Chains A and B, each alone.
Chain A
Amino acid sequence: MKTALTIAAEEWRYWIRSKLALAVIALFAVMLVSVSWVTVLRMQAASAELDHHQAEAEETFVAQPDRNPHRMVHYGHYVFRSPVPLASFDPGLDSVTGQAMFLEGHRQNSATFSASAASGDPGGLSWLTPALTYQVFAPLLLILLGHSAVVREREARVLPSLLAQGVSGRSLMAGKILALLVFILLLLVPLGVIALLAVTTGESLMAAAALVGVYFLYLSVWGGITVLLSSAFSKRSSVIAALAAFWLMVTLVLPSIAVNVASVTAPLAGKIEMELAMLTEQKDLSDGHSVSNSQVEQLSAELFQQYGVNRLEDLEINIRGLLAQKAEEKLTLAMNAYADKRMASELRQTELLTAQGWLTPMIAVAAASRAISGTDMQHYHRFLRQAEELRYDFVQDINQVHAEQLSYVDDINRNRDEESYNRSRVDAANWQLLDEFRFDTASASSRLASAGTPIGMLLFWLAVLFALLTWTGGRLKP
């Protein structure tokens, strides 16, 4: 251990003397600061804008005048998903999944893109996020700095004297890795800062720390690979070629193959196909307005018995509101079944993609990073479910108002003349029933749990590398 520390310290002295570490750190700092700056600003702007839209939509809804309740069901409402705190590090799927949704009775609309700063990308550079910088470019810097670790000693003929002096190959490799680990910690400082900023805007400390931890594991994998390949060749140029090829494979080639494999193996039914199928089924159900005669008869009978009357007009409650509730419930069950099916197939595709993290740590870290940040597929689904819950609640609440505050007689006569129509309105104070919408992430512990598999993959990579490094270290050639 003492030997390893001595070697690690010497490696740092070499980096500092050769100005290499400094140049590499400066390069990374410039890149990361500019990327983070842009992303953080973009997310802040998006957040402010979407929160503003949300508040405005809520104000507009509750400010509606006295209206016929069913018209309010169709008037609808908007929800907006503003970015979660860690999205300023890893926006994940946010940029492709839409953040606005129109909620109305009898329909589940798709999420769309709000014309906001989050989707605006004048430079075409929004794909470059801090997360991607860490996933793709930080390894490159580790390679730049660490590729010569062992091969340099071999080329300078120092390796035989080191070994002859009783320095074991293992402690030599351990020292080089230790030096790189310290460098990795340094690379993680900006991420730490972004994570802490997220904590100040409501993120849990555990999730923020876990995110830093995951990237530490990932970059350690790269540190291990760099030293391993540096010890495997006798010429520096061969090491560089091998590392460059490996980097290309792991960060570019394999991930794009993986995405294709996932979408070919587990294709999603097209959104439109699925909606058509659903609409056909809905035709058989009802469109939310008309209910079947048998249903009307059954409900009327129940109500007559309950209230001890025998005419709809004499009921204290408006059966049309209750019927609307029943229709909405039935329709929603059917729509939810479709939505669940679609989400399940999207999840299957995501899982298939993540499974390929066994082949490239880049996919593993990307999956873990999105899961912990709250910007993965599951969180998109969480948004869809939260929006649907709000939609169902306000539609059914309005139907309840319809049943309780609008008399059956006024209701059926509403189209007779203007005065009748005015009698079919209910008090505007009722629109206060709308709940506020605020998209939030799952709890830190459940996000960590869903990052479990990709974290396991990273640990697997580390274990394999540890075994390989121990083995090569034990038989290091001078």
Chain B
Amino acid sequence: MSNAVKLRADQLEIVRSGKKVLGGISFDVASGEVYALLGGNGAGKSTTLLGFLGLLPLSGGSIFVNDIEVGSDLKKVREAIAYLPESVSLYEHLDAYENLRYFLQLAGTPYDRSKVEAALDRVSLDLESRGRKLTGYSKGMRQKVAISLAILRDTEILLLDEPTSGLDPAAIDEFHDLVRDLASSGKTVLMVTHDVYGACQVADRIGLMQDGKLVGEFTAADGERIQTETVHRAFSDRHPKNPQVA
């Protein structure tokens, strides 16, 4: 069942602070697939991920993880998902090991030092930093710890919100390799990104979001030119130029 649908949104609607932020989006992601959500600021990408985690109430439609309706069994849903939040949320007063140990402990994943070292190697966090408190980390270093946490959870599904933000180009390349490896080992990856070319490189499918709607969907097989043009339109339409300045 390598093509089983792992994530499914059906006419998903979410209201935040009285504003309809998601206006009925539908898509699904199968196991072994990498799906990228692309779109301008405030399009509703992060909100979509929070919806899958059951962290926001739905105002319409439905949402499934592993064929389980999210609201019906939050515990099971959250066990199946590793989530990388948009802004790194780790403890500043702990070092990388302590952070990983704590969060893995809470998630009920056994802590295995050699696996942890392997994961940190995988994101190439330099050795001497690992035992230092996060207060002294750069943005990219924190991001690396957060990514390694998501890998270590060893869940079927990964929800990654702007995973490459803060990473240098070499680290981004390594990350893309990592995601491809995860997918080929059968994991399902739903990631949010602003990196158009990166998305084309790593994703099997790309969903284009605009104003809380899914306005287009591409596969890696689509020509890069078409993608780029459409994407540019999606990013610029929301911000019409000030006519007086133009």
Contacts and interface: CB of A to CB of B under 8 A. Distances in A.
Interface stretch (A27-35, A162-170, A198-206, A434-442): A162-170
A163 B85 contact: no
Contact of A14 (B79, B81, B83, B93): B93
Given A160-B50, A166-B108, A10 B102 contact: yes
A156 B107 contact: no
A164 B106 CA distance: 11
A164 B83 CA distance: 7
Interface string B209-230: 0000000000000000000000
A161 B84 CA distance: 8
Size category of the B interface is 20 to 34
B53 interface: yes
B55 A167 contact: no
A156 B50 CA distance: 17
B139 interface: no
Contacts of B108: 166
A280 interface: no
B90 A158 contact: yes
Interface in B32-91: 50, 53, 55, 74-75, 78-79, 81, 83, 85, 87, 89-91
A17 interface: yes
Interface in A16-74: 17-18
Residue among A7, A18, A157 with the highest chain B CB neighbour number at 10 A: A157
Given A157-B85, A160-B55, A160-B85, A165 B106 contact: yes
A164 B53 contact: yes
Contacts of B103: 161, 165
B185 interface: no
Contacts of A162: 106
A158 B55 contact: no
A166 B78 contact: yes
Contacts of A10: 102
A369 B103 CA distance: 43
A237 interface: no
B102 A165 contact: no
B50 to A, nearest CB: 7
B105 interface: yes
Contacts of B74: 166
A478 interface: yes
Nearest to A6: B105
Contact of B87 (A157, A165, A478): A157
A3 interface: yes
A18 B53 CA distance: 32
Interface of A: 3, 6-7, 10, 13-14, 17-18, 156-168, 478
Across chains A and B, which 5 residue pairs bring their CB atoms closest together, nearest first?
A: A166-B78, A164-B83, A158-B89, A157-B89, A17-B93
21 contacts: A6-B105, A6-B106, A14-B91, A14-B93, A18-B93, A156-B91, A156-B92, A158-B89, A160-B50, A160-B85, A160-B89, A161-B85, A161-B103, A162-B106, A164-B55, A164-B83, A165-B106, A166-B79, A166-B108, A168-B75, A478-B55
